[in-house]
Amino acid sequence: MNEPDWFLEFRNRVETAESNSPDYRHGLSINISPVIDPMGKPFAKSAIISSNEKILVNEDVFNSDKILEFKECLEEISGDDKLQNKMLAECTDIIFIVIPSSSTKKIEIGLAGAGSVLTVILAEKNSKAEILWKKKDEVAESTYIFAKDGSSVTFTAIQEMSGDCLESRKAIISNDAYVNWANLILGADYTRSETSSFLNAPGASTKNKALYLADNDQRMDIYTGSIHNSSNTSSDIVTKGAINGKAKALSRGLVRITSEAPQSDGYEKQDALLLSDTAEADAIPNLEIHNHDVKCSHGSTVGQIDKDKVFYLMSRGLSEKEAQLCIIQGFFSPVLEKLDDEFRETLLVRIMERASHEK
């Protein structure tokens, strides 16, 4: 199909955008430069998109009566670095989800196949959305949530992909709106996951949970960010992962409170549990505070399973494997409350499966 000129202009803008960031950011000596090969021609439906509700995909977007809203959103979209800009510029498919004012929607979306998918979610005033997002195969993902005044969006993602996973997600949050991210990262050889919330108006709030299991030779680079650009905003980041085999995981967090954001409240915590002697993890919480009138705290832990805890549980009749499982489940369970059932069950099942593969 022919895409409209304004979309070609968008591609052109992001492709040529200046970026202060390095070409590709990565940690843990992971030296890869992921190539976004268009992996299919634009709008050739190389990415397989499924949904329980009618959503706008590709030409539907251009033909919809919400086209003005889409174009407005597009103006605010750009990547933070060259990789993200490339993902956008060479996107193969687009999805546009509108949650009309004061309505409530529950949408389940599956992404598979190959390609680079740009998704725009527009939650209109006082709307409420729960989105369950499931990824397989090898799609690159750029997702933008625009949470308008008083809206609430819960975005729950379960990633069980093969190949490489490149995902960049951003929420632009307005007055008294709320965005709740829950990201479960299980698959892919290499994952580069970035999820950030921009708290751009008074009363905006966000939660951002990223949970992961890394095993074998998996590499995970997980970034979570809260950018406070307005007063009375609040954010809460929790990253938790268990790393086994020869896997490496890096989790970076950022809470930035600008001078425009007094009386804001930011929190971030990153925990990593190492399950083998060859696993590696790094947890880096960053704070950037440019305002005195705020509350902000952070913490991080990287540790192995405590042998005394294993002994304690075994002394009550649990086998060594059961004791370890109990500790791993216990490590995650405090943050599993209030999460989507499928998210929780998938994590617990995968923990069990992986534990039973060992030795």
CB of 297 to another protein, least distance (A): 19
Q: Is 333 in the site for another protein (CB under 8 A)?
A: yes
Among 54, 334, 341, 359, binds another protein (CB under 8 A): 334
Neighbours of 71 (CB within 10 A): 13
Nearest one of 54, 175, 169 to 124, comparing CA atoms = 175
Q: Which residue is associated with the tokens 């009749």?
A: 317
Nearest one of 204, 203, 211 to 171, comparing CA atoms = 204
CB of 211 to another protein, least distance (A): 13
Q: Is 332 in the site for another protein (CB under 8 A)?
A: yes
Distance CA 284, CA 254 (A): 9
Distance CA 198, CA 174 (A): 9
Decide whether 83 or 327 has the Cβ nearer to another protein.
327
Decide whether 98 or 328 has the Cβ nearer to another protein.
328
CB of 310 to another protein, least distance (A): 9
Decide whether 136 or 309 has the Cβ nearer to another protein.
309
CB of 274 to another protein, least distance (A): 16
Decide whether 140 or 335 has the Cβ nearer to another protein.
335
Distance CA 253, CA 181 (A): 14
Q: Is 6 in the site for another protein (CB under 8 A)?
A: no
At 221, list the tokens. Answer: 């680079």
Decide whether 98 or 310 has the Cβ nearer to another protein.
310
DSSP states of 195-232? EEEEE-STT-EEEEEEEEEE-TT-EEEEEEEEEE-STT
Q: Is 54 in the site for another protein (CB under 8 A)?
A: no
Decide whether 18 or 341 has the Cβ nearer to another protein.
341
Coil/strand/helix, residue 161: coil
C-alpha distances in Å from residue 229, one per residue of 28, 147, 152, 289, 326: 31, 15, 19, 11, 41
Binding span for another protein by CB under 8 A among 61-69, 73-81, 120-128, 328-336: 328-336
Q: Is 359 in the site for another protein (CB under 8 A)?
A: no
C-alpha distances in Å from residue 329, one per residue of 213, 236, 317, 324, 344: 12, 22, 18, 9, 11
CB of 331 to another protein, least distance (A): 6
Among 51, 175, 329, 346, binds another protein (CB under 8 A): 329
Decide whether 292 or 316 has the Cβ nearer to another protein.
316
CB of 319 to another protein, least distance (A): 5
Site string for another protein, 278-317 (x = CB under 8 A): ----------------------------xxxx-xxxxxxx
CB of 322 to another protein, least distance (A): 7
Nearest one of 186, 239, 193 to 216, comparing CA atoms = 186
CB of 307 to another protein, least distance (A): 7
Residues 6 or more apart in contact with residue 209 via CB below 8 angstroms: 181, 182, 183, 237, 238, 239, 240, 335, 339
Decide whether 2 or 317 has the Cβ nearer to another protein.
317
Phi, psi of 140 (to 5 degrees): -90, 145
- Point out which residues bind another protein (CB under 8 A): 306-309, 311-320, 322-323, 326-327, 329-334
